[in-house]
Amino acid sequence: MSIKIIKCQNINDKISVSKKLSKLNSQLLNYEILIFKSAFDKKKLIKIRKDAFKFGISTSQKKPDNTFGSVRKSVHRIDNNVKKMRVACINHMYQFAENDINFKTFHKVVKTMNDFRNRLLNINESEFSKNGIKKGYVSRPVIKHYPIGGGYMSAHTDKLIDKYSLQLIIPLSEKGENYQDGGLSIKDKNGTWIDVEKYLKLGDFILCRPDLEHRVREIDKYDKSLKWKSERGKWSLIGILDKF
């Protein structure tokens, strides 16, 4: 099996692991799927989920005003099989502006996530784009909520921005608690679909290459209608790293 469980600790908002980062890098380049256990405070992740849900219920939808870099204003958008989208999906997407004081917990967790990713990939702060002007890396953390009643994402691969590209996903919900059926699966380098949900608990996170095919199978599809106004369903915080 191409899935590896990694023990880790979160000390003063900095993740440390039981293996050398160079070793983890080698595993990622070899198309391994890595799951890091107990990396984040569960209470903080639940607060992020609840803050996002409240924001989505109480404000109007709006498309992000900045494709690259951080959004200037917190936004959310429902995607329900939009024809123009590259990947067919049903989910609710959220992006939060760095200066939005209502999402301090979100930004604190993102900072910890970005720090670990940058150390793992050996990316220096100077290599990041500044205000979408200077060429370089761009961090675009997003939250996605797949509602019960059929929220999903079709199988696809994502573009490699360089040889060290990776997919970093922090679950904000837990199968068996927030939903019962469906969820994330990843096809390993041997062509076998792996149901990663059975290895995940709230507080863990996943690392894998984006060019491994992945999908979110329909969430509680036996429910006859999409429950957009329910907090139940699958929630994920995704660390997207672009380069331009």
Q: What is the pLDDT of residues 66-104, one digit of tens each?
A: 555 668 899 999 999 998 889 999 999 999 998 999 999
Residue 4 CA to residue 204 CA, distance in Å, equals 13
- Residue range of the domain that includes 86: 3-243
* Angle of helix 21-29 versus helix 104-121 axis, rounded to 10: 80
pLDDT at 125: 84
Could you give the percent of the chain with pLDDT greater than 70?
A: 94
pTM, 2 dp: 0.94
At which residue do the structure tokens 């953390």 appear?
141
pLDDT at 155: 97
Write the CB contacts of 166 (distance below 8 Å, at least 6 apart in sequence): 28, 117, 120, 121, 207, 208, 209, 210, 241
Rg of the Cα trace of the chain? Answer: 17
Length of the chain: 244
Model confidence pLDDT, tens digit, residues 169-216: 999 999 999 999 999 999 998 899 999 999 999 999 999 988 999 999
Beta strands in the chain (DSSP E): 3-11, 14-17, 33-37, 75-80, 89-95, 137-147, 152-156, 167-171, 183-187, 193-195, 205-208, 214-217, 233-243
The larger pLDDT score, comparing residue 47 to residue 84, is at 47
Q: Which residues pair with 144 in a beta bridge?
A: 93, 236
State the average pLDDT over residues 9-38: 91
The CATH number that applies at residue 17 is 2.60.120.620
- The tally of domains found in the chain comes to 1
Look over the chain and give the mean of its residue pLDDT values, rounded to a whole number. Answer: 91
Asked if residue 112 has pLDDT above 70, the reply is yes
pLDDT band at 240 (very low <50, low <70, confident <90, very high): confident
pLDDT at 133: 64
Write the CB contacts of 83 (distance below 8 Å, at least 6 apart in sequence): none
